[in-house]
Amino acid sequence: MHRSVGIKKRACAFLFDMMVLLGILVFVYYFVPESSNVAVLNEEFNSVNDLLFGNKIDFLTYLNRVSIIMQDLDKERIIYSLFNAIYIVTYFVIIPWFTKKTLGMHIMGLNYYKKSGEITLDDLLVRSMVTCGLLYLLVSLVLIYALPSVLYFVLNIFFAILQISLAIISIFMVIYRKDNRGLQDMWSKIIVVNEK
């Protein structure tokens, strides 16, 4: 009988995987120069914050201006977001579909197991939506050009909070449930087990 592994080994594997992800993203960030507009938008963001905290503009004006700035910043950084999404899907969905594990899982002696049969790409995609921030990232990419700035900003915050909430709930489930299953395990019907 296969039993899902507890939080310690899973957390170590996940942290290793996140370090690999961060290393690759820093590498890409280093070689793909940032637009000069990003610096201008960051300065504009700081000045709007100063105006709000100096009581020179009201909150609705602030929200409108910040929404435009944040959407423009996300548009300027869309290449990084696209690369991040492609990398997450490749590393956490496609590779484990073939190998039943990520590099961090391999190092920690773990792999994926599905009682009902073969692990599918859909199963791994569901897991990544919860664990890797893929839900937030994909929603942001889809909505960035489709919505007006205020609605985009509000929905972006909503999905960021939802993504963080799902991750926190899942962590507590893995820690406190007897079967060590989190949301990603239950929704994908995949569990993380020790290699045999």
Mean pLDDT value across the chain: 89
169 Cβ contact partners less than 8 Å away, ≥ 6 residues apart: 182, 183
- Residues 71-105 pLDDT 10s: 999 998 888 888 889 999 999 999 999 998 999 99
- Residues 100-145 pLDDT 10s: 899 999 999 999 989 888 899 999 999 998 888 888 999 899 999 9
Give 58-65's long-range contacts (Cβ < 8 A, gap of 24+).
63/150, 63/153, 64/149, 64/150
Number of CB atoms found within 10 A of residue 122's CB: 10
Say whether pLDDT at 1 is over 70: no
**Per mean pLDDT, which range of 28-42, 144-158, 161-175 is the poorest?**
28-42
Give the residue carrying structure tokens 């590779």. 95
Residue 155: burial class (beta carbons within 10 Å; 0-12, 13-18, 19+): middle
- Residues 17-43 pLDDT 10s: 999 988 988 887 777 777 778 888 888
- Please give the Cα distance from 187 to 13 (Å, whole number): 20
